[in-house]
Every structure is written in C-alpha cells, then in structure tokens.
Structure 1
C-alpha cells in the first residue's frame, strides 16, 4: 500500500513542553494531553484549538485516561498522585497518593472499565490497584506477585486485563480479577496494546519487533519486525491496523491481517510517547517529547 494511506493533517504545539501522554474522548471530538510542564491540556481535535488547561499536579504527567462516557478524566504524575477530574468542569473530584516504596510508587498507567465504575492503576513498584471511580476508594490490589504492571491494556468488552512488568506478561479475567495466565516474555516490553476483541496482545520491544501473544493460552503467535527501538504502539478500534513509534520519532503503520508494513512516517524529532486511533478509525494521533502532537488522516 502507498504512503498516501496516511495524510498529515495538522500539528498542535505545546509551548515547547514535551507531551508525555494523550487520550481521545469517546466521541472523537476532544484530545487530552498530559505534559512535561505538569499541566493537562484539552484540545479540539478537528481544529487544534486549545480549549482549556488544567493545573493541579506538581510533576510531569505519566498518564491520562477518559471514562467511556466521557464524563471523567483520570490523571497520574511523577508527583505520585492519582487525580479524578470532572472532565467538563475541570474540578478535581478525588486525589490520592499511593504509598509504597518511596522511589517506585509512581503510577505509570491506568485503564477504566467499560461501565466507568472501576479504575485500574499500575505502579512502577509493580502493584496493580483497582478503585471505585465515583468515590475514589481503593477496592483491592492484584498484588506485585499477581499482576505487577508498568503497562496495562483492557479489551473493549472489559473482560480481559493485560499487564507487563520486567519481562513478564500477566492476563486477568474481569470483573472476577482472577489470573488467566502468567508468562515470561523475555522482552523489555516498553509498549503494550490489546486487540478490541480481546484475542491478541501486542508487545512492542526495543529489539525492533512487535510480539503477538494469544490472550487465552499465553502462547506467542507471531511477530512484526523492522522497527528498531519501539516505545509506543496503538491498535485501531476495528482491529485492522497497528501503529508503532520509536525512540527516534519514526512511526510505522501495519496491516494486521497480512502482518505487513503499510507505510513509515517521519515528522517528529524525538521519542514518540503515545499513539491513539480515533474511535471512527479515520485518524491517528501521535504525541512526542519534541513538544508536538500530530494528527494523521487515514484513507
């Protein structure tokens, strides 16, 4: 397929502050960025207009997550706190700090269940906590021996939770929170995604490969190769495409049925921090530590 399958549309500038993470609202209208300057910015995706800036964290952001109904925003930061915001008013509804090893209690990742009621967070120490979104109360901890995760991914139906930590992949059945399997991948696993149907787990690695794992038995199925230093991956909502980004700022788009590379994109000048497809599969959004967010049209 030709490179013209992806068309560069626009760039958001973030005042020279690296963009560490992004999220797209369920209706595909709004983009949220978490930034190195400790702020959260709300953008109009179609125009690139900055609509609002949220302040409250004392350190750079590590993750932003939106609830499926678009009402709630969850953020985490190097300041070791998790905050739950009213997405429309910008009010902080709940805020808490996780107390573990002082060095490693940073929350690196979070996902929200499809019903919007439960939040799962993975810490650098290796624990995975789950919380009541409405009250902010801790419901449990899957435990460092059960599902320690610096990366989390949840299937669209909310029945499968995958986590990676120090070369280990662990998968849980939800909402029972029972472990399905645990397997040593032998890879550093700096990026993680799951297919919308929950059947395949994708792990991007510094070795230049994306490893595909069966989500039920824990067997490695195949690999996509030829992209060195992968640090970010994202899967399209229809499950047909995967995007990967590396430390040099290069993005590759892959067709999953044929397991072939569709095109390679240049434009960022630093490490890719996040790759997200819009809900309608028509747009890919990339963020980078070069302080830019780029929007690509898929055709």
Structure 2
C-alpha cells in the first residue's frame, strides 16, 4: 500500500534542504533557506522548538544516537553542535573556507564530521575545547556533497565522481570511482541479498541513478532508477527494506529493495510537493515497528515538509 500524507507543514520560509528523524522516530528536525531549524512531533506535526543561530541557509542536519545532540551546517561555513533540550549551541566549528554541504555525528556524539564545497572533509572533537579539526582530509578534487560515519570509517561522496572510505584507525583510504557526481551516500545493514547481515552503501548520483553496493567487496548488488536528479543535489535514504528518494519532478519515489532490486523500477511515485524534493528520510524505527504510522519525511524547495504514513 502506498504511503499517504499524514501532515503537510509550512513552518519554513523558502527551500527546506534537510530533514531527519531523531533515533526514537518520534521527532523530526528540519532546516533550510530561512536559516532556522524546526523540531516537530512526528505523530501530531506540532512544532516543539526552533533553533536559531545560523547566518546563512542550512544545508544538512545529523542527530546523535541518544537524540541529545544535533549537528547542523550551512552556507555560513560553520558547523553548530546543539544541545537539543536547551536549544543552545554547545560548540561551533569554523575552519572550512566555503559552504558546508554535509555533516555527520557518531553514536556517542564525541566526533563530528563535515564536508564542504572547499573539497575537504574535517573531523572534529565534539568534547574538547579545541578549535582546530582533529584531521583534514584533502583527497577530493571537487566539492564534498555527502558524508556518513560508521564506527572508525568515514564515507564521503564527492562531485568529482568518487566515493572515498577512510579507515581512521588504519590511516588508509579506499576510492571507488563512479564516473558521475555523487550527491548522496548512506551506510545501511541489509539481509536482503545474503543470508547474513551485509554492510551496504547506498549511493545516489547526478545521472539519476541509485546503487546499492556491498561495502566489503565494492560489488554492486542492485540499481534503482525513475526519479530525476540532473542539476540539483537530491538525497536518498534506505532502511534495509525500502529505498526512498526525492526528485526534480516534485515527486517522492520509493523502491522495495528485494522486489525492485532486479528491475530497478520504482514501486511508488508520491505526489504532494509543488517544488523539487531535496531530501527524504525514512523513520529509523519503521522497518522494525509496524506501529510507527509516520514512516517518512520529505522536504522540498517550495518550503513544505511532508510527514508520510
């Protein structure tokens, strides 16, 4: 059954560039062109809190595992680390030279990673008062569009067409050349194609393709298509069962990883937005808890946020 609109929110002014669930799946953070972050209750759609401090548009958000810390980044070349309960900034990182497009935070909220149009990935100590990054990764030949952080590994997608996996403990980097600008990377665990749980990378590119790779072997497990991604950075997401993506044709697209893995054809194309859908995020609990009616959030250039059930 196709997801339906549970709530359509219009609390932002201008494009909404980022939207994420907290780890409980009960709350949603959104941010965008109006420089503000909004925290909403996923069940009711009610605005709970606003976070103000950025001087330019917000490009990305990341939440810690215990939902106590929120990282945000944007056009002001700054990464903010927020205390979620007090809506106060606890740390601010400012060494990037250009717009920061992506941010990630580890489970313990001790490390923050940011990627910028200045072609660098920076690693920050979120617990010390140190103002300089722990590490600066300068391998990208173009802007860094997406980062994810899993254990001791940092995965960075770049507009130069490569995905770089950094093993921080071993001090080495693995480069996968895709030949097309990468706009979205996501690490997931899936049992769909093997008997055992497999660590996978979901990679979205600016040729309109989404691919699922085995992280260990770099073998492509499946490819998915149908959405439009030619000129804008469109983020996709997955939860082990479903893949979701925004699109430049104003729709949200959904694929079933198992059923659509061979054909690549989408299962659902969802209307609701009247502008480019920049970002989608699946509820982290919806694949294991059927009671989570609010299963996905999407954000768009028309200023709207949709919570889907």
Query: Superposition pairs for residues 70-219 of structure 1, below 5 Å?
Result: 70-100=67-97, 105-135=98-128, 137=130, 138-145=132-139, 149-155=144-150, 158-165=151-158, 166-174=160-168, 176=169, 178-196=171-189, 199-219=199-219
Greater strand fraction, Structure 1 or Structure 2? 1
Is contact 1:146-1:179 (8 Å) kept? no
Is contact 1:209-1:224 (8 Å) kept? yes
Instruction: List alignment gaps of at least 5 residues for structure 2.
Output: 191-197, 287-291
CA distance in 1, matches of 2:16, 2:140: 31
Q: Deviations over 1:41-92 (max 9, x none)?
A: 1111111111222211111111121111111111112011111111100111
Q: Which residue pairs with 1:17 in the alignment?
A: 14
- Measured after TM superposition, the shift of residue 196 of structure 1 is 3.1
- Where in structure 1 do 4 or more consecutive aligned residues deviate above 4 Å? none
Secondary structure of the 1:227 match is: coil
- Measured after TM superposition, the shift of residue 194 of structure 1 is 2.1
* Counterpart among 269, 273, 293 of residue 274 in structure 2: 269
CA distance in 1, matches of 2:57, 2:41: 22
CA distance in 2, matches of 1:216, 1:248: 34
CA distance in 2, matches of 1:36, 1:254: 29
CA distance in 2, matches of 1:78, 1:47: 31
Q: Which residue pairs with 2:52 in the alignment?
A: 55
Instruction: List alignment gaps of at least 5 residues for structure 1.
Output: none
**1:278 aligned onto 2:283:** yes
- Measured after TM superposition, the shift of residue 186 of structure 1 is 0.5
User: TM-score by structure 2 length?
Assistant: 0.85
Secondary structure of the 2:91 match is: strand
> Is 215-224 or 141-150 further displaced after alignment?
141-150
CA distance in 2, matches of 1:129, 1:172: 12
User: TM-score by structure 1 length?
Assistant: 0.88
CA distance in 1, matches of 2:170, 2:51: 33
- Measured after TM superposition, the shift of residue 122 of structure 1 is 0.9
Query: Superposition pairs for residues 218-229 of structure 1, below 5 Å?
Result: 218-229=218-229
Q: Which residue pairs with 1:232 in the alignment?
A: 235
Aligned length: 285
Q: Deviations over 1:129-158 (max 9, x none)?
A: 111112353452242127973211234xx2
Q: Which residue pairs with 1:251 in the alignment?
A: 252
Secondary structure of the 2:250 match is: coil
Q: Over aligned residues, Cα RMSD in angstroms?
A: 2.1
